Amino acid sequence: MMKYLAAALLSALMISPAMAQNCCAKKGGQEKSCSRMIQTNVPERPAGQQDMLAFRAPKLQTVRIGIIGLGMRGVSAVDRLSVIEGTDVVALCDLHQDRAEKSNAILEKNGRHSAALYYGSEDAWKKLVERPDLDLIYIVTDWQTHVEMAKYAMEQGKHVAVEVPAAFSMDDIWTLIDTSERTRKHCMMLENCVYDFFEMTTLNMKNKGLLGDIVYAEGGYIHNLEEFWPYYEGDWRMDYNIKHRGDVYPTHGMGPAAQILDLHRGDKMNVLVSMDTTPRNLPAYLEEVRGVKDAKVANGQHTMTMIRTEKGRTIFIHHDVTTHRPYSRQYNVAGTKGYASKYPAEHYAFAGTDLKEAGMPAVDDLSTHSWVSPEMQKELYEKYKHPITRELEKRAKEVGGHGGMDFIMDYRLIYCLRNGLPLDMDVYDMAEWCSLIPLSQISLEHGFAPVEVPDFTRGAWQRLQGYHHYMIGD
């Protein structure tokens, strides 16, 4: 009986029966490596499917949008999308009628027509998705509904933009990949942090060669949610953290790191290892605030995941939503010529000779062991400001949404759809960034073992060389 239970577990995790296979390899009589890596499965691409790398859908003069979920983030999405040229918010859906009506009032405030409203039923969203007059389904619901909604929307002929994280298991990740490839519809995860002004500037510095070759990137989600726990409808976020071990919210940290490392655009993740600390604050909160004594919490107080890529680079991702510490996404990038750090304050460090060669004015006496001066940083920031940020920064700050990065995210989504361009984030970005959720759990539950990260492109990770924001003319 135990043998069959073990086989079922391995199947559910999509890892090979040789779970703790000895990966030692001998070369010239010497052991090249000696790690016990948990292997993962890459399902064969079904016949007739093609990958979605640099996929271009037909141009849409007007992007007709249906939005599902009008709670904490959904209502602000209605506001942003209805002020972007070339959009038509056609339909809105939420469980609650008052939220739908409130969102309609926002459309009217922005000079748009009222949308068709769907509410009152757990399946009302399906009626919205089935409408023939929609091009894009924008999903802003609780985590556990994302995959079902996104899959159904693509099968109904719609492009999909889905909140983070889009998927939580390897099965669900592959489901979204296969559905996108089969239907030839975009499946983009709504990761806003890749549009942060500092991250965008740092990416541009990397593209211009100022940082040299990137060797290390760090990111994370450090955000005490104590004040927010009561506002997640049905307690879905608390419930997930109680029941699941691992980095359950990795995409804010992974997104910027992945882009600056060109993941599946010339490099790929090979292996990860996770460790966590014993949960302390969340059980205490449950007892003090909710009266739950001796609460069993699976999610660690602080979860750390280390990743190594094919090209020998490393990534370090953190998750902590219960410690009393300032908000941070832990963004740090190290290159052979420079270093960038966003928290607790934005700083850059370079070798002075590199700045002189770049033609920067007023070069201080710099070394790789000190930050550039505030005056120099201001000049650098202006010189290397990303073209997208330069174009949209003022308007983004006016419209808002996490300081403006939400607006840029939505604007770029619509821009690419209207111009038939590849999106800034494809379905493989979704897969790679979300894969930390199940893979970190596997590592933790098997004694912090190294776990293989699958190639979600199924062999095409080198076809594109370098991360790129597509523009008209590309």
CA separation for the pair 339, 348 (Å, rounded): 6
| DSSP annotation of 328 | B
β-sheet bridge partners, residue 216: 314, 334
Phi and psi based region of residue 246 (left: phi greater than 0; alpha: psi -120 to 50; beta: remaining) = left
| Residue type, position 142, single letter | D
Are 126 and 152 contacting, i.e. CB atoms less than 8 angstroms apart?
Answer: yes
DSSP string, 153-203: HHHTT-EEEEPSP---SHHHHHHHHHHHHHHT--EEE--GGGG-HHHHHHH
Rounded mean pLDDT, 62-68: 99
Rounded mean pLDDT, 257-269: 99
User: What is the value of pTM for the model shown?
Assistant: 0.91
CA separation for the pair 90, 133 (Å, rounded): 8
364 falls in which pLDDT band (50, 70, 90)? Answer: low
Cβ-count burial 368-395 (b if 16+ within 10 Å, e if not): eeebbeeebeebbbebbbbebbeebbee
Q: How far is CA 335 from CA 46, 315, 350, in A?
A: 39, 13, 9
Which domains does the chain possess?
Answer: 63-190 (3.40.50.720), 194-390+419-452 (3.30.360.10)
| DSSP annotation of 114 | P
β-sheet bridge partners, residue 160: 137, 187
Residue from 308, 264, 444, 334 nearest 33 by CA: 308
Question: pLDDT value at position 115?
Answer: 99
| DSSP annotation of 144 | G
pLDDT in tens, 421-447: 999 999 999 999 999 999 999 999 999
Question: pLDDT value at position 400?
Answer: 86
CA separation for the pair 365, 152 (Å, rounded): 59
- The residue assigned the tokens 């159904």 is 152
- The residue assigned the tokens 């934005």 is 346
159 Cβ contact partners less than 8 Å away, ≥ 6 residues apart: 57, 135, 136, 137, 185, 186, 187, 188, 417
pLDDT in tens, 194-207: 999 999 999 999 99
Residue 355: how many other CB atoms lie within 10 Å: 23
pLDDT in tens, 27-62: 444 334 445 899 999 999 999 999 999 999 999 999
- The residue assigned the tokens 């699941």 is 244
Phi, psi of 2 (to 5 degrees): -60, -35
Q: What percentage of the chain carries pLDDT values higher than 70?
A: 89
Task: Choose between 14 and 78: higher pLDDT.
Answer: 78
Per-chain mean pLDDT for the chain: 92
Are 201 and 389 contacting, i.e. CB atoms less than 8 angstroms apart?
Answer: yes
